[in-house]
């Protein structure tokens, strides 16, 4: 066998991009940053960065997550965020179109991040601002996304495609897994969980049917023993996520 010659192959870079999703004001939102450098300077993009020579993909994604949000990733085998500032992190897909980055050949390994209602983000790296934005606005077909007074423009690179894939992954996974609880605090009401499903799926759900389904699914929810009035009205029972990772029967999306 002939010896391997690295110079015979063109070099390329590897990046990680993060689809960070949370529910804010009853809407599914994603973290975006305004690029401070070329290419696409001034355009909004998903957070991310280049993989360092001494780190693997998971470590790079976790590092970028901390730098961009202050969140710590946890074991992707569990749908529950760790107490405090944990977040669910899992690999989403790989994107390698030769023209996706005008600088050079760049392959991106995107990761999906889910966490409960998060505070205002802070910008880091080559970003000069960061914010949460509703995914419906980010994926708008009417010219793209822009803050008030800005000219709307599509997300930089192929990030609209990556974001759309991440949103669909979240929408499909909460059908058959307990991942929806990753958007909730450690203790939550059935009403709060229902609003997560409504925000992620973009549909209205019947409260009684939803309550019956989630409380009747083995291992999905466990009563915490407490109640809350944080949403007004009569005290509502508090639950925490049960041990089930797969739901049987699944919570199927209503046909729209």
End-to-end CA distance of the chain: 58
What's the pLDDT at 256?
Answer: 61
Helix/strand/coil percent split, the chain, to 5: 25, 30, 45
**Are 89 and 65 in contact, with CB atoms under 8 Å apart?**
yes
**Are 116 and 188 in contact, with CB atoms under 8 Å apart?**
no
**CA gap 221, 74 in Å, rounded:** 21
Tokens encoding 207: 């409260």
Average pLDDT over residues 33-61: 92
Tokens encoding 135: 């995914």
**CA gap 5, 212 in Å, rounded:** 63
What's the pLDDT at 37?
Answer: 87
What's the pLDDT at 81?
Answer: 43
**Where do runs of H (alpha helix) occur along 157-244?**
159-176, 190-201, 207-216
SS3 199: helix
Tokens encoding 216: 């009747």
- For the chain, the average pLDDT equals 87
Percent of the chain with pLDDT over 90: 58
Q: CATH 3.90.79.10 residue ranges in the chain?
A: 13-175
Q: CATH 1.10.10.10 residue ranges in the chain?
A: 177-241
**Taking the model in full, what pTM does it have?**
0.87
Neighbours of 229 (CB within 10 A): 9
Give Cα 222 to chain centroid, integer Å: 25
167 pLDDT above the threshold of 90: yes
What's the pLDDT at 194?
Answer: 96
Report, at the CATH architecture level, how domain 177-241 is classified: Orthogonal Bundle (1.10)
134 pLDDT above the threshold of 60: yes
**CA gap 190, 237 in Å, rounded:** 8
Average pLDDT over residues 125-140: 81
Neighbours of 22 (CB within 10 A): 25
pLDDT in tens, 20-40: 999 988 899 999 988 888 999
Least confident of 67-81, 143-157, 188-202, 240-254: 67-81
Tokens encoding 9: 């192959």
Residue owning tokens 């450690």: 186
Average pLDDT over residues 109-125: 77
E strand residue ranges, the chain: 13-24, 27-35, 44-45, 48-50, 72-74, 86-95, 106-114, 127-134, 221-228, 236-241
What fold is seen in the domain 13-175?
Nucleoside Triphosphate Pyrophosphohydrolase (3.90.79)
């Amino acid at each position: 066998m002939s010896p391997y010659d690295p110079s015979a192959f063109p070099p390329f870079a590897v990046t990680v991009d993060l689809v960070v999703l949370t529910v804010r004001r009853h809407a599914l939102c994603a973290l975006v940053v305004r690029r401070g450098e070329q290419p696409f300077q001034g355009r909004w993009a998903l957070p991310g960065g280049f993989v360092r020579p001494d780190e693997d993909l998971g470590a790079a994604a976790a590092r970028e997550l901390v730098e961009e949000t202050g969140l710590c990733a946890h074991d992707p085998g569990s749908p529950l965020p760790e107490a405090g500032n944990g977040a669910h992190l899992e690999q989403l897909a790989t994107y390698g179109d030769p023209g996706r980055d005008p600088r050079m050949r760049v392959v991106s390994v995107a990761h999906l991040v889910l966490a409960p209602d998060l505070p205002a983000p802070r910008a880091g790296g080559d970003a000069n601002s960061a914010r949460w934005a509703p995914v419906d606005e980010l994926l708008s077909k009417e010219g793209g996304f822009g803050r008030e007074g800005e000219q709307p423009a599509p997300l930089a690179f192929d990030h609209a495609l990556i974001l759309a894939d991440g949103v669909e992954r979240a929408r499909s996974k909460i059908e058959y897994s307990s991942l929806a609880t990753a958007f909730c605090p450690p203790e939550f009401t059935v009403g709060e969980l229902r609003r997560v499903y409504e925000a992620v799926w973009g549909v209205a759900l019947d409260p009684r049917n939803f309550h019956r389904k989630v409380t009747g699914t083995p291992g999905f929810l466990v009563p915490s023993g407490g109640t809350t009035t944080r949403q007004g009205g009569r005290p509502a029972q508090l639950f925490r996520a049960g041990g089930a990772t797969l739901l049987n029967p699944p919570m199927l999306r209503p046909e729209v």
